[in-house]
A and B are shown apart, each in its own frame.
Chain A
Amino acid sequence: MKTQPDPVRLEIFNNLYQFIAEQMGIVLQNTAMSVNIKERLDFSCAIFDSSGSLVANAPHIPIHLGSMSESVRSLIKDKKDTIKPGNVYISNNPYNGGTHLPDVTVITPVFSQFPKPHTPHPTPLFYVASRGHQADIGGITPGSMPPHSKTIEEEGILFDNFLLVEAGKFQENAVREILTNHKYPARNAQQNIADFKAQTAANNRGLKELQKMVDKYSLETVQTYMKFVQDNAEESVRKVIDVLQNGEFTVQLDNQAKIHVKITIDQLTRSAIIDFTGTSPQLDNNFNAPSAVTQSVVLYVFRTLVKDNIPLNSGCLKPLQIIIPEGCMLNPIYPAAVVAGNVETSQNIANCLYGALGIMAASQGTMNNFTFGNEKYQYYETICGGSGAGKNYHGTDAVQTQMTNSRLTDPEVLELRFPVLLESFAIRNNSGGKGEYNGGNGVIRKIYFLETMTAGILSSSRINPPFGLQGGQAGEVGKNYVMRNNGTQEQLDSTATIEMQPGDIFVIESPGGGGYGTK
C-alpha cells in the first residue's frame, strides 16, 4: 500500500464515505416518525474509523458535527471487548461524550462479514452512528428544554452507552422501562422508541454499505483511505492556521459567567493551542456545556475558515489542541444541568473564538429558544437574529447563525395547529452594530395568545450585547417582554417562564450582530 494517496481514489473515497453518511440520513429521515427528525431535519449521521475518529458525515446541524466522535470514543473506552457483532448502543450522557439529553445517539459497531477463524474477540472495523433530537425525553417541562433546570435529572432521561440491541434483538422492554421509570419520565415513550428504531435502521444501512465497500475494494484500502481523507482535511486546516495570529478573548454571558479563550499559533508545526483556562467555574444553572459541545464549536469555527469544500472529519481537529479545565462551565461535573449549553453557550463559544482570531464580530450569541404549551399543545422554536460583520463584509439581517440552522414553522401552519396569531415578524431595523462594516439586524417576533398557556424563553445577549471588532460597535441587546391584554408591559429576563392569558402578546426582539472596523 502506498504511503501517498492516489488522487483519484482520494476523491472517490471521500465522496463514497460522504455518500454512505448521506444514505444513512435518507433512511433515518424516511423511517423516523417524529416531526423533529422527519421534517425539521434535526439529526445527523456519520461514519467513524476503528478508533472512533470521524471519517465523514452528512451535516444538517453544525452542533452535531464534532461531538458525535466523542460519543463513539466513550463507547469504545467503556465497553472495550464486550462490543460484539449484532449489538447496538444508545447514549445521550453529557458526561460521557453527549451534548444535552434530547440529542440521542445510536451507535452500531461494524465487523467483518467474514471473521478470521480462531479470533475469540473480533474487534470492530468501523462504527456508524446517528443522532436525532427527541421532541421530548422527559424532565420538568414538556419538550425537555427547561429554562430553569438545576440538575441533569430535571432535564430528563439519561442513557449511558446502553445496549439497545443485543445480538440482533431490540431491547424494547428495557428501553421503555428506562424511559418511563424516572422521576420526570418521557412523555411519549412510544415515539422515542420508534425513532430509536429508525436510527438503528439508518445505522444498518451504513453498516451494509461499508461492508459492501470492503468487499469491493479490500479492507486495507478502505481503512487506508479513511486515514488519507483525514490527512487531507488536516492539511486543509493546517494551511489556514499558517496565516492566523495569536489572540485572546473573553465573552461575558448575561448570567455574569464568562468564557475565556487564548489561541496560540505555532507557525512552525502549523498547529494551534486553544486554551479555555480562565473560563468561569461550573454554574448552578443550565448554561454549562459538556466538553463535546466545545469540541464541536472549535471544529465548526476552523472549518468555516477554510474557504473550500473540504471533507469534514476528525482530521480537521488534529492540528488543534483544546484545553478545557475540568470543573469549569465548559467541562462540568455530574450532575450539573446542561440543557442551555448546547443551544446558548455554544453560540457564545463561537463568538469568542472568532473574536480571539480577530476575524468576525459577534453574531447574535443566542438561539432565542421559545417554547409554549399546555396539556394539549407543545411548541418549540429557535429564532434568528443578526450575524456579525467581518473584514470586507457586512453582517446579514435575520438569519440563523453559527451552531444552528433549523427551520421555522410556516406562519399559516403555526396558526392552524396552535391557538396563537403571529402578530408580526419583521427585521429589527438599526439593531446591527455600526462600523466600517455593519452587523446584521435582528428580528422582532410578536405572538398573540388565544388560550391560556405557559411560555418560556431561554436566551442570551439580553444584558451583554454582541461585541463589535476593530472599533466596530456592538449590536443591540435582545429583549423579551409580554404586552398584557390590559395594556401593561412586563419585561422578562434572558431566561423566563410566564403564564400567558388570551389577548396577551409575547414579544421577542432578537439581538443584532456586531460591527467591524471604524467608519
Chain B
Amino acid sequence: MVSVNSSEKWQFWVDRGGTFTDIVAKSPQGKIIIDKLLSENPEQYQDAPIQGIRDILGIGKNQPIPTEIIGVVKMGTTVATNALLERKGERVVFVTTKGFKDALRIGYQNRPDLFALQITLPEMLYETVIEVAERYNAQGEELESVNREQVKQDLQLAFARGIRSCAIVFMHSYRYPKHELEVTEIAQEIGFTQISVSHQVSPLIKFVSRGDTTVVDAYLSPILRRYVEQVKNNLYNLADDSYSEQGTTNNQQLTKLMFMQSNGGLVDADLFQGKDSILSGPAGGVVGAVKTCEIAGFKKIIGFDMGGTSTDVSHYQGEYERSFETEVAGVRLRSPMMAIHTVAAGGSSILHFDGNRYRVGPDSAGSNPGAACYGRGGQLTITDCNVMVGKLQPQFFPKVFGKNANLPLDKQIVIEKFKQLVEEINYGRNEEQIASGFLAIAVNNMANAIKKISLQKGYDVSEYTLCCFGGAGGQHACLIADALGMKQIFIHPYAGVLSAYGIGLADIIIIKEKSVEAICDETSLNTIQTIFSELITLAKQELAAQGETDKQKITISKKVHLKYVGTDSSLVVDYGNLNNMKQQFESLHQQRYGFIVTDKNLIIETVSIELICPTYQPEVIEPEPTSIKNIQPQPIDTVKVYMNNSWQDTPVYQREELQSEAIINSPAIIVEATGTNIIEPGWQGKISNSKNLVLSKIFE
C-alpha cells in the first residue's frame, strides 16, 4: 500500500485500445510507472483500466480502491468506436422532417467502391423513423408548425416498442431550432433517456452530415454512459446496482474521472458524448506527440503512430489541426476532430503474392492469431519480415507467445514460411531479399500516404521532424524518413504508450461553433460578435459544470471559417477586423491552392470558439545541450541484420541503459520495454538529456 499524501495524489492516464490497455501512472512523488495489459480478459478481470490501477497500487482483488489517494483518472477509450464498427449501439428512433425519412440512407448517393458489382452500403444506425409534419425554409419562415399530437402518438409507439434513444433532425434547425426544441420536450415527457437534438449536437448547415452526427450521438451515448458507470462503480467501489441518479458519493468527490475526446481535449466523465468519442485514443496520441515534441524543441512535426492493423498520421505546426467533417465506418460526422489520416497498414498487415506482384494488406492478422512468429498459426505479416531480416530478435521479447502464451517469438516458423514463398515466387530471390521487398512496399505505401496529405495542405515535409510512436513505429522510422527526405526523427521514452501519456498531458478543451452563412462585412461582423459572446458563455458554463472555476488558467480563441461566395471549401482564420481576416484568408488560400480571387466576396460560413483549460503541466524541461561528449555506449549483444542488401553485424542496445548524450552509430538496434528501434545506415542516434532518442540523417 502507498501512503497517503494529501497535497500530491496519484494520477492515472489510460488508453484503453482494441487489443491493449496502456497505463501511465504518476506517483505522488512524481515517479512515472508504465503498465500494459490486455483490454479483454474476462477470466482475470472485468475492466482493464481498473485492473491496471489495482496492479500499480498493489491492491488485492477484494480490497476497495483507496480513491482518497487518487487525484484523477484520465482515460481514452475505443468502447464507442468498437460499438460503431460492429454496429452494436443503442436502439434509436430517427425523428425528422416529413419527406426526409430516407435522406440519411440515400445520403449524397455515391457508392463506396467504384468497381463492385454488388453495391454494399453501410448499415443505418437507427431502427425506425418518424416523419414529422413541420417545416422551416432556409430564410427562417415557419412554413408549417409541428403537429404535436401526431408526434406524441408516434413517439409513444416507439417508446412502447422499447426504444429509449431518439435523434431529432429537422431541416434548417441548425439556425431555426424552435421545432426541434418542441419535439424534444415531448420526447422528455414520454421518458426517452437519450435525446440527441441536431442543433445542439452539431449546429452547422448540411442536413445529411448533421443528421448522421445526431444519430451517431443517440446510438453511442448510452453505450458510453454505461461504460462510464461501470468504471465509476469499480473505481468508487459501488455495487453494480447501487449507482443511482443522484449518486454523488463521497468517493466521487475525491477522484476525478475524465475522458479524452476526438477533438484532443479532456471532458468530465458525465459530459462525455457519443459524437465526441470516436477518435478518443488516437487523439491522445497526437496530443502526446505534440506536447513531448514541443518540450524537446521541435516545432514542426509529422506524427507517425504505427500499430498492428493501421497507422495514424498527423501534422502539426503550432496549432492542433482539426477536420470538421469526417467519415468513419460509413457515417459522416460533422464535429471537430483531430485531423488524423489512417493508413490501412501496420505490423500485422498480411503479405500476399498474386503470381506477379507482392502486396501488403489491407487485411490484418490482428492480435489473434497475429503474425506467424506469434506461433498461433498466423500468416506471414510485416512483423515477420522484420523477424526474417533480424530486426526483431526473439531473445529480447518476453515469452508470451505460442498457444499457451509461454513461448518466445517463433523464428523457425517464419523462416519455413519464407522458404515456401521463395519457391512460390521463384525469381531467384532468397528469404531475406523477399522479406526486404515486402518491407519496401509497406514503407512506400506509408510514405506515399504522408506525402499525399502534405501535398493536399501545401507544406514541405522535408523540413519536419518525424515523431514516431506506437508499437511498430521505431522499426520503420528511418526507412519512412528516407522515403520522404526527412532528416530528423524523435522517439520519446514513452513512445510505446504515447497515447496514454498524451491523455495525461491533455487540456480540457471546449469547442463551440455556429453556422453563419453571411457575406463578410461590417454588419455580419457585429452579428458574430454577439455570437462569440453567446458561445463563450456556453463554454464557460460547461467548464463550470466540470468543476473547473479557475478563470486564471483558461484561454479562449475565436475562429472564423471563411470561403469565397459560391464555393464550399472554407479556411479557418483568427477573428480580427475585416482587413486582417481577409489577409489571413488570402495568405492561407495562396499557400494551399496557389491562387486568390480578387472579385469574389467572402462568406462567413461558421464561427467557433475554443476554450482551453490545462489540467497538467509536465515539469520536464529540456536543458540546453552542453558540450558534445561522445559517450560510447555498451551493446548488450551483437546480431546479424539484413540491411542495404547484405547481412551486417549490428550491436543491440538496451534503451533504458543508455546515458544522456550517448551517440549510437548505424547500424544498430535499440530495444526498449515497449518497442524496438532500428538505426539504418546513414543515420545516427543520440540520447538527449531528457532521455529522448533523436535520430539524424548524417550521410546519404
Contacts and interface: CB of A to CB of B under 8 A. Distances in A.
A7 interface: yes
B532 to A, nearest CB: 23
Interface stretch (A28-36, A109-117, A284-292, A323-331): A28-36
Contacts of A407: 108-110
A144 interface: no
Interface stretch (A15-23, A150-158, A170-178): A15-23
Cβ-closest 5 pairs across A and B: A424-B99, A8-B437, A384-B109, A396-B119, A393-B118
B226 interface: no
A62 interface: yes
Contact of A405 (B106, B114, B592): B114
B102 A26 contact: no
Contact of A359 (B117, B358, B566): B117
Contact of B105 (A15, A398, A412, A415): A398
A334 interface: no
A415 B108 contact: no
Interface in A1-55: 4-8, 10-12, 14-16, 19, 22-23, 26-27, 30-31, 33, 35, 38-39
Given A7-B356, A30-B458, A407-B110, A422 B567 contact: no
Interface string A301-345: 001111010000000000000000000000000000000000000
A387 B118 CA distance: 9
B137 A415 contact: yes
B427 A6 contact: yes
Contacts of B441: 8, 11-12, 15
B444 A38 contact: no
A425 B455 CA distance: 38
Given A30-B592, A405-B110, A424-B99, 12 more contacts: A7-B356, A39-B567, A235-B356, A384-B109, A398-B109, A399-B110, A399-B111, A400-B109, A421-B143, A425-B103, A425-B106, A443-B102
Contact of A35 (B118, B143, B354, B566): B566
A398 B106 contact: yes
Contacts of A232: 356-357
B218 to A, nearest CB: 20
30 contacts: A7-B353, A7-B358, A10-B358, A11-B358, A12-B444, A19-B448, A19-B451, A23-B451, A31-B593, A31-B595, A35-B568, A39-B567, A39-B568, A39-B569, A300-B115, A303-B115, A306-B115, A390-B118, A396-B120, A405-B114, A406-B110, A408-B109, A410-B208, A411-B207, A412-B172, A413-B206, A416-B205, A416-B517, A425-B103, A426-B99
Contacts of B568: 35, 38-39, 413
B106 A30 contact: no
Interface string B122-148: 000000000000010110000100000
A396 B121 contact: yes
A219 B595 CA distance: 34
A425 B114 contact: no
B617 interface: no
A8 B172 CA distance: 53
Contacts of B171: 411-412, 415
A405 B111 contact: yes
B455 A23 contact: yes
Nearest to A381: B109
B452 interface: yes
A412 B138 contact: yes
B594 A31 contact: yes
B115 A443 contact: no
Given A359-B117, A399-B119, A415-B138, A425 B99 contact: yes
A427 interface: yes
* Most-contacted residue by chain A among B109, B137, B359, B566 (CB, 10 A): B109
Contacts of A387: 119
Contact of B102 (A305, A359, A396, A398): A398
A134 B383 CA distance: 48
A193 interface: no
Contact of B594 (A201, A359, A398, A424): A201
B425 interface: yes
Nearest to B210: A412
A100 interface: no
Contact of A5 (B103, B206, B356): B356
A180 B595 CA distance: 24
A446 B209 CA distance: 21
B111 A8 contact: no
B631 interface: no
Contacts of B452: 19, 22-23, 26
A90 interface: no
Contacts of B105: 397-398, 427
A422 B208 CA distance: 13
Contacts of B595: 31, 33, 194
Interface in B397-417: none
A406 B114 CA distance: 11
B684 to A, nearest CB: 25
Interface string B284-302: 0000000000000000000
Nearest to A406: B110
Nearest to B425: A7
B476 to A, nearest CB: 16
A360 interface: yes
A401 interface: yes
Contacts of A81: none
Contacts of A427: 102, 105-106
A155 B451 CA distance: 40
B6 to A, nearest CB: 55
Interface in A352-405: 359-360, 383-384, 387, 390, 393, 395-401, 405
A11 B448 CA distance: 13
Contacts of B567: 35, 38-39
B116 interface: yes
B593 A30 contact: yes
A236 to B, nearest CB: 9
A14 B425 CA distance: 18
Nearest to B120: A396
A12 B357 CA distance: 9
Contacts of A440: 119
Interface in A224-264: 232, 235
B160 interface: no
B98 interface: yes
* Most-contacted residue by chain A among B117, B209, B358, B427 (CB, 10 A): B117
* Most-contacted residue by chain B among A62, A411, A446 (CB, 10 A): A411
Contacts of B106: 384, 398, 425, 427, 443
A387 B111 CA distance: 11
A238 to B, nearest CB: 12
B205 A412 contact: yes
B530 to A, nearest CB: 21
A127 to B, nearest CB: 22
A341 B440 CA distance: 45
A396 B116 CA distance: 12
Given A11-B358, A35-B567, A410-B208, A424 B111 contact: no
Contacts of B118: 390, 393, 396
B627 interface: no
A423 interface: yes
Interface in B31-69: none
B236 interface: no
Nearest to A445: B106
Nearest to B99: A424
B252 interface: no
B597 interface: yes
A511 interface: no
B110 A400 contact: yes
B206 A410 contact: yes
Contacts of A514: none
A456 interface: no
B222 to A, nearest CB: 28
A407 B112 CA distance: 11
B91 interface: no
